[in-house]
Amino acid sequence: MSQSTMTTGRRSVFSRPRAERGFTSWITTTDHKKIGIMYFFTVLVFFTLGGAESGVIRAQLAQAEMDLVTAEIYNQVFTMHGLTMVFLVIMPLGAAFFNYIIPLQIGARDVAFPRLNAFSYWMYLFGGIFLYSSFLLGGAPNGGWFGYAPLSLDNVSNMAFYAVGLQLLGVSSLSAAVNFITTILNMRAPGLTFMRMPMFIWMSLVTNFLLLFALPIIAVALFMLQFDTIFGSQFFNPATGGDPILWQHLFWLFGHPEVYIMILPAMGIVSEILPVFSRKPLFGYAAVAFAGAAIGFIGFGVWAHHMFTSAIGPVARSAFALSTMFIAVPTGIKIFNWVFTMWGGKLRFTTPMLFSIGFVSMFTIGGLSGVTHAVVPHNAQQTDTYYIVAHFHYVLFGGALFALIAGVYYWFPKVTGKLMDEKLGKTHFWTWLLGFNLTFGPMHMSGLLGQPRRTAVLPEELGGSVELYNLLSSIGVAVLAVSALIFLFNLIKSIRGGVASGPDPWDARTIEWLSDSPPKHYNFAEIPTISHRDEFWHRKYAEDEAGKPVAVPAGASEQHVPDAEHAEGDHDGHHIHMPDPSYWPLVMCLGMFPVGYGLLGPTPWLIGIGVVWVLMGFFGWIIEPVAEGDDDDPVVEDPAAPRSGVAAH
Amino acid sequence: MRDRTAMRAANRRRTRVSTILVFALGLFLAACEAPQSALAPEGPYAQAPHDLIKPVFAIALFVFILVQGLIIYSVVKFRRRPDDDGSLPAQVHGNTRLEIFWTVIPALILAGIAVPTVQMIFSTMAEPEGEFMTVEVVGHRWWWEFYYPDYDIYTANELVIPVDTAVRLEMTAADPARDAANGVIHSFWIPKWAGKQDVVPGQTTFLNVEAAEVGRYLGACAEYCGLSHVNMRIRGESLEQADFDAWVDNQTSPAVEPTDGLAAQGAELFGTEHNTDIGARSCAACHQVWDGEGTRTPGVGPDLTHFASREEFAGAIFDVDDEEQLRDWLRDPPAMKPMQPENAVGMPDLNLSEEEIDALVAYLYALE
Amino acid sequence: MTAGVHETTLGLDHRKLGMWVFLGSEFLFFGAFVSAYILYLDATAGGPGVEIFDIPFTSISSFVLLMSSLTMVLAHNAHVRRDMRRMRLWILATAGQGAVFLGGQVFEFTVFYKEGLNLTESPFASGFFVLTGFHGLHVFIGILLLLSLYSLTFTGKIKPNQDLKTEMIGLYWHFVDIIWVIIFTVVYLIPDLAMEA
C-alpha cells in the first residue's frame, strides 16, 4: 500500500498539495523536470525582453547622432540588457539544463533537495520581476551591469534595484549550487565513478562550485553598496579614504568566474552532442574534464584583467596578464579535443550538431580576441571599446548561447517525446549564424577604429567607416530577430505536432536516453548500474574480435534486458517514493517582495512584514508533514528499518 | 546650427563615398579614415603597443585559420555519405601525444607573447626618460580640466602640448566643488597618442603621452560615467615648440577687460563673485575669468579666461565659432547636452533673456 | 527524496553534505569582508581606529562563544545517546551563551558609538561594524535554529533516534565559532599587537 493514502485523511494548512496536472501542479511542483521546463519558458520571456533592449540599442546606433531614445533611457536599456542576458537568460538557461538533465544523466530520480530546487526557481522568477518592475517605479538601473562605484552610489543611478535584485538572484543561484553539487556528488547511480561521468555532469559540477565560491563575493560587494547608499557607510567613498577600486576587485572576483559559469555548461553540452553525431567517443575525455576543472580554478585568478587600465600598478598588471594568458591553454585544449572528436567520425548534420560546430567555430574567435586583450599595453587601446563588446559576444552569444540552443534541439525529444522540425531548425541555424556574425563581426573593427562602449549616441566625428560598421551591426540584429522568430515558431509547432521521436532518436551515448521520452515522473523504473563511460552506448554496441564496434542485437545484452522488462512490466512506479509537491517554496519566496521593495527606501515596516513572512514560510517548510519519506531523518540505530515514524504523528 | 547641418550633410555624402571605398578596398584599409582610430598611432606611447600587438594579431589569425580549417576539413571529409553502410567509425578515445602537443605549443607561444608584454607594461608606466612636461588632469562630469603647473594655466577639454615632447598626465576625478566624494571614474583616451588610463576620484593615476606630429587629435572619456558619458570628449592639440610658447604666453596673461559696449555689459553680467553655489544666477559662481589679480583658482565649471582661444566647448561637443550653438547653449544648457543640475552635476538653465545672451556672447568672444 | 545514508554515493546524508557545501560558500563571504576590513585598517578619516578595542572584554565574550561549541558537542552527544533531557539542557546552554555573546557585542557597539566610532565615520568603521554585524547576525540565526530545535523536540518532529538536525545545527554553530576565532584574531588581536609593537 502506498504511504500517500495514509495521509489522505488529514487536510490541514500543512498538508502537501497533490495535484498532478494543471496550474497547481506547476506552482507546487518539486519535480526537477517540471522545474527545468519552467526555467526554460521563463528564460524565453526574459530573452525576448533582453533582445528587445538590444534592438533599441542597435536602432539608436544604426546611424550617427540619432535621437530615437534619450540618453537616460539608453543608459537604462543597455544596463538592463546586460543584466538580463547574464542573470536572467544565460545563467538560468544553464540552470534549466542542470535541472532537467543532471538527475537523468546520473541515474537519479530527482535532485537532492527538491523543495529547495523549487525555491531557487521562484527566487529567480521573482528576482527578475523585481528588476523589471523598476521600469514602472521611477526608472531602471542606469549604472551598467558592472555597477562601478562611486557612480552606482549616485541617487540618480537607480542602482538600489540593481543591488537588491542581484542579491535575490544570488540567493537563487547559491541555493541551486548547493543543491546540484550535493546531487552530483551524492546521487550518482551505482558504478558511476567520476571518470565515467558524462562531460555535461563534469562541467555542471565545476560550474556549481564556481557559483558556490563566486556568489558570496558579489553578495559582499552588493551589501557594501547597499550599506553605503542606505545607511551611509563609507566603503566606496573616496572623501573619507574609501576605495572605489575595491568594488572593482570584488565585482570582477565574482565577475570573471561568472564568465565561466556561463560558458562551462555550454562546453559540457557540446561535449555531449559532438560525440553522438560524430558516432565516436569524446576525444581525450580526461583532458577535457581536467581542462574544465583547470579553467574553473584559474578562473578565480584572472579577475583584474577587467581592470588593466584601472588604478592598479605594473606588478598587478603583469601578474594578471600572465594568468590570463595561462588560462588560454586549457581552453585551447578543449577546442582541439572537440575538433578531433569529429575527426575520423561519420558526421550527421542535425540541427544540434550544426549549433555545436557553430559553437566551436565562434567560440574560437572569442578566445583568440581574448588572447589579444591579455597584451596589456595594447589592452589600453581595446578596453571599453566595441572591440571588447565583439569579444564577449563571441564568447557568450557565439559560445554559450549557440551551445545552449544546441542543447534545446538535442534534448527536446527527451522532454517532449517529439522531434523538432529539422528544416526549420536548419533555417534557424544559418540565419542565426549569419545574423550573429553580421552583428558582432563589424564591432571588432568599429572598436579598433575608436568607438567607445556605452555611448548613448554614435558620435559623428568617429568617421564614416565606423558608421558603416554600426549600420551593419544594426542590420545583423534585424536578421537575428527574424531568426529568433523562426526558432519560436519551430518550438511551438514541434510541441504541438512534432514527429514522435521514440526513446533514442539520436543513437545517443548517455543514460538519460535509457528512460522513457518524456521520462516518467520517477525517471527510472529501476536505477541503472553503470559499468562504462558512455554507458548507454555500451549497452547497444560491443566490439568484435577485430576491435570493431558492432551493434548488440536487441535483447542480447545482459544489462539491457531486465531494465526493458521492468520498464514495461511489473514497475508501474507506484511503490517508488517521490518527493511530494509543496506550497512553501512559493510562499516563502513571495516574502522576498516586501523585503526587496522595503530595502529600496528603506521602508523598515515593509522589510519587517517581509522578514516575518519569510520566517513563517521557513517554519511552514520545516514542519510540513512528511508524506513520503521526504524529510524524515535517518534513524541512528538501524538505517534499514522501514520509515514507520512517518505515520506516527 | 545651420553650419552643423551642412557639415552633417557633407559627412553623409562622405559616408556614401566611403561605403563604396570600403567595399572596393576591403574592410581593413578603411582604418585610415577614422580620426579616433586605435590602429593609427602617431606617438611613441601608442606606437610601441601597436608594434607589440601586430605579431599577436598575426598569430591569432594563423590559429584562426588553422582551427577553422580543421573544422571545415572535418565537416567535408568526415560527413556521413549517402551510401553509408551504417557501421561505426573507429572508436578513438584520444591520443596522448597529440594532446601534449596542443598543450605545450600554445603554452610556448603564449610565453613568447608574455615576455615583451610584461616588459612593456613597466616601460610605458614608468616616468618618461629625460625631460618631460607635467599636466594635471581632472575628470569632471562631463568635461575635462587641464592644469599646467609649470605655467599656472587652466584650460578645458583641449590638451595643448608641444610636439615631440613627452608629457606625463597626473590625473584624478572630482566634481562638483572639487569634492572627491562626488567624483566618478572616467578614462582618459586619445588613441593616437596612447592607450587609456582610468581616472579615479581620491587617487592619482598617471599616463604618458607624446605626439610625433603636429595636429589635432580626437579622444573621449572611455569609462562609462553616467548620463552624458558620450559628451565627454577630449581634443589633443600638438604644436611646434614656438607655437606652443606663444600659446603659453597668451594663456598666462590675464583675461581681456572689455571697456565698452555689449561685451562690457556681458562682463558685468558674468559677475566676479566666486562661490560654489551651483544654480546661483551668476556665471562667476562656477566659472573663473582671471583678471590678473590674486591666484587663479578654478570654479566648479571650466575656466573661461581664454574661452575664445579654444575651438570647442561643453565637453568638446560644440564649436566655439558657431555663434548659434553658443546661444542655444546659454539659452538652455541641459537641453543641448543631457546633464543633471538637480543632482548638482552640470550647468543649469539660468533663464537668460535674449539681451543677456547677446551681451554674454559678446563677452565670451572677447576672451581671446 | 531522501535516500538513507546507505543509498548515497558518498555515504553521507544529503543534508549534511549540503550543509558542508553551503558553509564553504559562507567561508568566502566572511573572507571578502575580512579582506575589506584589512584594506581599511588605516582608513579612519581622523576618527577612532583599532586603539578603541577593549581586548580583555572581547576576550571574555569570545571565550563564552568558544565554550558554546563545547556545549553544542555535548548536546549532540546526548542526542546520540537518546538522552533528550540532557540534550535540551545543553541546547539551551548553547543558545544562552550565544545570547551572552550577542549581548556583549551590543554593549561593545554602544560603547564604540559613544566614543565616536560609528558606521558613517570612516571606511574602517564601516568595515568593522558590517563585518562583526554580519557575524552577529549569523549567531542570531544560530540561536533561532537552536531554539527551534529545542521546541521541536517536544512535538515529536525531532525524535531521540534521529540526531541529524542536531548534528547539522552543530556544524553551523561550530562554523560560526571558527569564523569568530578568525575575526577576533584578525580584527582585534593582530592590529592591537601591531600597534603596540
pLDDT in tens, A78-109: 999 999 999 999 999 999 999 999 999 999 99
CA angle A135, A141, A143 (to 5 degrees): 155
State the SS3 of A585-617: HHHHHHCHHHHHHHHHCCCHHHHHHHHHHHHHH
Close Cβ partners of B6 (under 8 Å, ≥ 6 residues apart): none
Put simply, the answer to whether A321 touches B233 (Cβ < 8 Å) is no
CA angle A632, A637, A641 (to 5 degrees): 60
Close Cβ partners of B58 (under 8 Å, ≥ 6 residues apart): none
Q: What is the mean pLDDT of residues B193-219?
A: 95
Measured CA to CA, the distance from residue A558 to residue A556 in angstroms comes to 6
Which residue(s) pair with B27 in the sheet? none
Close Cβ partners of A564 (under 8 Å, ≥ 6 residues apart): A555
Chain C residues in contact with A181 by the CB 8 A cut-off are 18, 21
Let me know if A338 is a catalytic residue: no
Segment B8-20, tens digit of pLDDT: 555 555 555 555 5
Segment A501-520, tens digit of pLDDT: 989 999 999 999 999 999 99
Measured CA to CA, the distance from residue A108 to residue A170 in angstroms comes to 26
pLDDT confidence of residue A315: 95
Low-confidence ranges of chain C (pLDDT < 50): 1-4
Single-letter residue type at A490: N
User: Phi and psi for B83 in degrees, rounded to 5?
Assistant: -95, 25
A124-133, A475-484, B24-33, B61-70: range with lowest mean pLDDT:
B24-33
Put simply, the answer to whether A216 touches C45 (Cβ < 8 Å) is no
Chain C residues in contact with A649 by the CB 8 A cut-off are 155-157
Measured CA to CA, the distance from residue B310 to residue B101 in angstroms comes to 60
Q: Cell 599587537 identifies what position?
A: C193
pLDDT confidence of residue A572: 55
The dihedral sign for the CA sequence A208, A293, A512, A183: negative
Confidence of residue B86 (pLDDT cuts 50, 70, 90): confident
State the SS3 of C25-54: HHHHHHHHHHHHHHHCCCCCCCCCCHHHCC
Q: DSSP 3-state assignment of B300?
A: coil
Confidence of residue B179 (pLDDT cuts 50, 70, 90): low
Long-range contacts of C79-85 (CB under 8 A, 24+ apart): C79/C160, C79/C163, C79/C166, C80/A636, C80/C163, C82/C160, C82/C161, C84/C153, C84/C160
- Decide: B and A in contact? Rule: 3+ Cβ pairs under 8 Å: yes
Query: Which chains, if any, share at least 3 CB pairs under 8 A with chain A?
Result: B, C
- Angular region, A70: left φ>0, alpha ψ -120 to 50, beta rest: beta
Q: What does pLDDT average to over chain C?
A: 91
pLDDT confidence of residue B149: 95
pLDDT confidence of residue C132: 96
End-to-end CA distance of chain A: 18
Close Cβ partners of B192 (under 8 Å, ≥ 6 residues apart): B36, B37, B40, B41, B42, B43, B46, B211, B217, B236
The dihedral sign for the CA sequence A443, A263, A519, A583: negative
Write down the ipTM of this complex: 0.94
Give the burial class of A256: count Cβ atoms within 10 A of its Cβ; 0-12 exposed, 13-18 middle, 19 or more buried: buried
Which residue(s) pair with A614 in the sheet? none
pLDDT confidence of residue A649: 32
Q: Check CB contact of B344 with chain A, cutoff 8 Å.
A: no
Chain A residues in contact with C148 by the CB 8 A cut-off are 619, 622
Put simply, the answer to whether C43 touches A242 (Cβ < 8 Å) is yes
- Torsion, CA A34, CA A39, CA A42, CA A47, rounded to 10: -140
Which residue(s) pair with B238 in the sheet? B161, B215
How many angstroms separate the CA of residue B324 from the nearest CA in chain A?
19
Share of chain B above pLDDT 70, in %: 87
Close Cβ partners of A364 (under 8 Å, ≥ 6 residues apart): A335, B63, B64, B67, B68
Confidence of residue B224 (pLDDT cuts 50, 70, 90): very high
Q: Cell 578515445 identifies what position?
A: B93
Task: Write out the H or E segment, with its range, that includes residue A465.
Answer: helix A464-497
Task: Determine what percent of chain B falls in helix, strand and coil, rounding each to the nearest 5.
Answer: 45, 15, 40
Low-confidence ranges of chain A (pLDDT < 50): 1-11, 556-570, 628-631, 635-649
End-to-end CA distance of chain C: 58
Residues A353 and A343: beta-carbon distance below 8 Å: no
Residues A44 and A606: beta-carbon distance below 8 Å: no
Close Cβ partners of A77 (under 8 Å, ≥ 6 residues apart): A53, A56, A57, A69, A140
Higher pLDDT, B70 or B88: B70
Q: DSSP 3-state assignment of A369?
A: helix
* Residue of C182, C189, C163 whose CA lies nearest to C73: C163
Q: What cell does A561 get? A: 534486458
Check pLDDT > 50 for residue B326. Answer: yes
A145, A338, A386, A597: the catalytic one is A145
267-296 in A: which are within 8 Å (CB) of B?
A: 278-281, 283-287
The whole-angstrom distance between residue C103's C-alpha and the CA centroid of its chain comes to 13
Chain A residues in contact with B181 by the CB 8 A cut-off are 150, 237-239
Q: DSSP 3-state assignment of A360?
A: helix
Residues C189 and C84: beta-carbon distance below 8 Å: no
Query: Which chains, if any, share at least 3 CB pairs under 8 A with chain B?
Result: A
Residues A71 and B228: beta-carbon distance below 8 Å: yes
pLDDT confidence of residue B29: 47
Which residue(s) pair with B207 in the sheet? B169
Residues A91 and A156: beta-carbon distance below 8 Å: no
pTM of the model: 0.92
Put simply, the answer to whether A329 touches B110 (Cβ < 8 Å) is yes
Measured CA to CA, the distance from residue A225 to residue A221 in angstroms comes to 6
Chain A residues in contact with B316 by the CB 8 A cut-off are none
Let me know if A110 is a catalytic residue: yes
Residues A530 and A511: beta-carbon distance below 8 Å: yes
Measured CA to CA, the distance from residue A243 to residue A237 in angstroms comes to 7
User: Phi and psi for A601 in degrees, rounded to 5?
Assistant: -65, -65
pLDDT confidence of residue A648: 32
Q: Check CB contact of A649 with chain C, cutoff 8 Å.
A: yes
Put simply, the answer to whether A450 touches B33 (Cβ < 8 Å) is no
pLDDT confidence of residue B345: 86
Chain B residues in contact with A72 by the CB 8 A cut-off are 227, 338
A16, A34, A58, A334: the catalytic one is A334
User: Would you give the DSSP letter of residue A84?
Assistant: I
Put simply, the answer to whether B196 touches A310 (Cβ < 8 Å) is no
Measured CA to CA, the distance from residue A43 to residue A404 in angstroms comes to 12
User: Would you give the DSSP letter of residue B166?
Assistant: -
Q: Check CB contact of A464 with chain B, cutoff 8 Å.
A: yes
Q: What cell does A473 get? A: 551591426
Q: What cell does C75 get? A: 548536546
- Angular region, B273: left φ>0, alpha ψ -120 to 50, beta rest: beta
Q: What cell does C179 get? A: 569564523
User: Would you give the DSSP letter of residue A227?
Assistant: I
Put simply, the answer to whether A186 touches C9 (Cβ < 8 Å) is yes
Cis peptide before A602 (omega within 30 of 0): yes
Q: DSSP 3-state assignment of B187?
A: strand
Single-letter residue type at A388: I
How many angstroms separate the CA of residue C69 from the nearest CA in chain A?
22
Q: DSSP 3-state assignment of B83?
A: coil
A279, A453, A520, A643: the catalytic one is A453
Measured CA to CA, the distance from residue A171 to residue B359 in angstroms comes to 61
B34, B60, B223: residue with CB nearest A465: B34
